[in-house]
Amino acid sequence: MLDLIIIGAGPAGMSACLYASRAGLDVLILDGSAPGGKLNVTAQIENYPGLKPTPGPEIAFTMYESAMNFGAKMAYEEALDIKDHGDYKEVITAKQTYQAKYVLIATGTKERQMNLEKENELVGRGISYCAVCDGPFFKEQDVAVIGGGNSALEEAMYLATLCHKVHLVVRRDVFRADKVIQDRLSKVENIEVHFKRKPKEILEQNQKVCGLLIENSDDQTTEELKVNGIFPFIGLDPMTQCAKSLNIVSENGYIDANENMETAVKGIFVAGDVRNKQLRQVVTATNDGAIAGQYIASLK
Ligand code: NDP
């Protein structure tokens, strides 16, 4: 039996893996995708202490190297369910069932959808939730970014380096993003901000996005933006599917923990963006992971 299974190889999971395996625990880290989580879709990280502005995927790679440096194993499998058997736990994937004394949930969050008609069928045909991955397909074209938070503004600025024009559609008359990011955005000439506008309808031709209808929230009039790409960055939803049967997901969808990252179920821990907390950043995710990894190691 393993000592610890970590579900999710983002900054929280990898940090926990580093601390726990370095302290001698037999650790398996599970993730259906490449290690790094949201780092892999972030153009530049500029607020991780001690690091110069660095592309997210580069940090993901070095974090993975240090996480695996002390004998931990990684399996590219998605955890579907967790069973609590008291002094041991089971993690079920599509391929097999793993057993461990402790489980750490570090599954993070996923991008929220606009829930507009045709949104799903046009993913990869003009709708994208990842500017770093798909931005180059829209070189010299016009695109729309939806949202007024840090993600929307940062991704709009990244897209503005590639695209002819970026329409930024914000539902209120103010941004939610940090002031430093707003100031930077105001200097980018090929971004047009549309305040008090909501996306209303995706326009499509030959199964590809050809425009976006936006609605004025004051008078409900509509306007068509002629764009080939639409990038919604309207918030994040916690990924807690694998924890559903444990009954630890709180009303707002996130998982509560104490300062040692212990959930209400003994031996089950949570770290990173999926934890109920105020500030979701790479640095707070690695912080959670370090605390969890070290604390779990102290229990052995
Ligand atoms: P946020 O929740 O911060 O912002 C979401 C934005 O989308 C808000 O402007 C919100 O409007 C808008 N919105 C929500 N729902 C809709 C909708 N249905 N239609 C139109 N607009 C909508 O999400 P982010 O993904 O930007 O950020 C998530 C977390 O990650 C935050 O804590 C953020 O600070 C952090 N982050 C930090 C970064 C950094 O520090 N460099 C970079 C990226 C993210 P309203 O304001 O009206 O609610």
User: Residues lining ligand 1, judged by CB closer than 6 Å?
Assistant: 47, 114, 146-152, 154, 171-172, 176, 198, 233-236, 280-281
Handedness of CA 133, 138, 139, 145 (dihedral sign): negative
With pLDDT > 90 as the criterion, what percentage of the chain qualifies? Answer: 97
CA distance 214 to 66: 46
| Closest by CA position to 233, among listed 138, 139, 157, 156 | 156
Pocket test for ligand 1, best of 234, 273, 284 (most atoms within 8 A of CB): 234
* DSSP letters for 204-251: EETTEEEEEEEEETTT--EEEE--SEEEE---EEE--GGGGGGT-B-T
Q: Where in the chain is the domain with CATH 3.50.50.60?
A: 2-110+236-299, 113-232
Report the range of poorest mean pLDDT among 99-108, 123-132, 269-278.
123-132
Mean pLDDT of 148-157: 96
- Atom number in ligand 1 closest to CA 174: 46
Tokens of 82: 């967790």
Amino acid 187: pLDDT: 97
Amino acid 44: pLDDT: 87
| Closest by CA position to 164, among listed 227, 213, 233 | 227
The helix (run of H) or strand (run of E) holding residue 108 is none
Helix then strand then coil, % of the chain, to nearest 5: 25, 30, 45
Protein residue with its CA nearest to atom 3 in ligand 1:
149
Protein residue with its CA nearest to atom 31 in ligand 1:
280
The radius of gyration of the chain from alpha carbons, rounded to an integer in Å, stands at 21
The tens digit of pLDDT for each residue in 81-104 reads: 999 999 999 999 999 999 999 999
133 flagged as catalytic: yes
- Does the pLDDT at position 132 exceed 90? no
CB 285 within 8 A of CB 272: yes
Fold that domain 113-232 belongs to in CATH = FAD/NAD(P)-binding domain (3.50.50)
- Does the pLDDT at position 300 exceed 90? no
Mean pLDDT of 101-127: 96
- Atom number in ligand 1 closest to CA 181: 41
The tens digit of pLDDT for each residue in 176-197 reads: 999 999 999 999 999 999 999 9
Residue of 26, 81, 130, 256 marked catalytic: 130
Structure pTM? 0.88
The tens digit of pLDDT for each residue in 23-64 reads: 999 999 999 999 999 999 888 898 999 999 999 999 999 999
| Closest by CA position to 106, among listed 29, 174, 173, 177 | 29
Residue of 3, 31, 134, 273 marked catalytic: 134
- Does the pLDDT at position 211 exceed 90? yes
Amino acid 259: pLDDT: 98
Going by pLDDT thresholds of 50, 70 and 90, the confidence category of residue 157 is very high
CATH 3.40.50.80 assigned to 2-110+236-299: no
242 flagged as catalytic: no
